[in-house]
């Protein structure tokens, strides 16, 4: 019984590294893969896995792909003393500020988890995305990309989001490579994320200020950032409607 409690304790501690990403990354990008996998034939994508029953059976696998590719980089992002101090203000329930694990213990998990993510991606699909995510995490966490200014920070986040969405779609379709014609679609998604991802920074402003991170709300002011973000959301709602309407069906465009 004690071993079971220890396992549950440590399992929950690992989950806490990614808990705040459930609604921003894990849920949306998994859903992207599922729903677009169901519509794959309309996009001109052909795979033996493009059947409703097969795709639904692969949902747990795709969810796992997103989570295991996120986990080592989430741990890496939360390891530094600056990150722990920031989380003490913004997210005190996280694993390190709540002292459920030491930074040394968490650091020891990174390489094994990334190796497991790479092997999983080799098997399920999305190996290119897995490698790009590792490069982005290095830039973001160790080369100042997440702190230097809002433009670089938003760019890294947007490319990462493209990796998660395209990777989840590849994985649910059975490790097939997406056609080059899908690139404009993912670029639009990336631009939407690049210009609006600062929405997650509004609630974290106190911790970001303590850390010295230059987010958009801290650089131009909270009110201006909110007005700009709301304006961009209205713009993208109109643009995306025009973009796909202008090209007819998405599938018609991608299958050309």
Locate the domains of the chain by residue range: 15-254
The CA-CA-CA angle for residues 251, 253, 256, to 5°, reads: 105
How far lies 215's CA from each of 20, 52, 88, 99, 131, in Å? 18, 42, 18, 27, 26
| Cα separation, 158 vs 189, whole angstroms | 8
Percent of the chain with pLDDT over 90: 56
pLDDT digits (tens, 9 = 90+) for 107-120: 999 999 999 999 99
**Residue 239 CB burial class (10 angstroms; 0-12, 13-18, ≥19):** middle
Count of helices and strands (H, E) across the chain: 13, 0
| Cα separation, 83 vs 96, whole angstroms | 9
Report yes or no on whether pTM surpasses 0.95: no
Q: What are phi and psi of 149, to 5 degrees?
A: -165, 170
Looking at residue 26, the DSSP 8-state letter turns out to be: I
Q: Is the pLDDT of residue 250 over 50?
A: no
pLDDT digits (tens, 9 = 90+) for 137-192: 999 999 988 888 889 999 999 999 999 999 999 999 887 777 677 788 889 999 99
| Cα separation, 201 vs 193, whole angstroms | 13
Spacing of C-alpha 193 from chain mean position: 11
Q: What is the pLDDT of residue 47?
A: 64
**DSSP state string for 121-185:** HHHHS-HHHHHHHHHHHHHHHHSSTTTS-HHHHHHHHHHHHHHHHHHHHHHHTTSPPPPGGGHHH
Residue 36: Cβ within 10 Å count: 23
Spacing of C-alpha 29 from chain mean position: 7
Phi-psi region of 33 (alpha: psi -120 to 50; beta: other; left: phi over 0): alpha
Looking at residue 110, the DSSP 8-state letter turns out to be: H
Q: Round the average pLDDT of the chain to a whole number and report it.
A: 87
| Cα separation, 234 vs 152, whole angstroms | 23
């Amino acid at each position: 019984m004690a071993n079971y409690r220890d396992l549950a304790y440590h399992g929950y501690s690992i989950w806490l590294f990614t808990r705040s990403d459930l609604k921003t990354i894990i849920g949306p990008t998994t859903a992207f893969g599922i729903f677009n996998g169901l519509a794959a034939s309309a996009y001109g994508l052909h795979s033996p896995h493009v059947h409703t029953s097969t795709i639904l059976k692969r949902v747990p696998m795709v969810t796992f792909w997103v989570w295991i590719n996120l986990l080592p980089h989430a741990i890496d992002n939360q390891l530094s003393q600056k990150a722990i101090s920031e989380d003490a203000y913004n997210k005190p329930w996280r694993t390190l500020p709540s002292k459920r694990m030491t930074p040394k213990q968490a650091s020891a998990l990174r390489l094994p988890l990334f190796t497991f993510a790479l092997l999983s991606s080799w098997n399920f699909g999305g190996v290119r995305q897995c490698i790009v995510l590792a490069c982005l995490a290095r830039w973001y966490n160790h080369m100042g990309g997440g702190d230097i200014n809002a433009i670089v920070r938003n760019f890294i986040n947007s490319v990462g989001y493209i990796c998660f969405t395209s990777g989840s779609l590849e994985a649910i379709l059975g490790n097939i490579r997406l056609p080059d014609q899908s690139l404009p679609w993912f670029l639009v998604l990336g631009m939407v994320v690049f210009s609006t991802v600062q929405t997650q920074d509004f609630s974290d402003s106190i911790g970001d200020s303590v850390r010295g991170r230059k987010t958009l709300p801290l650089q131009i002011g909270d009110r201006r950032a909110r007005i700009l973000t709301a304006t961009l959301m209205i713009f993208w709602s109109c643009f995306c409607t025009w973009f796909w309407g202008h090209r007819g069906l998405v599938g018609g465009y991608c299958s050309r």
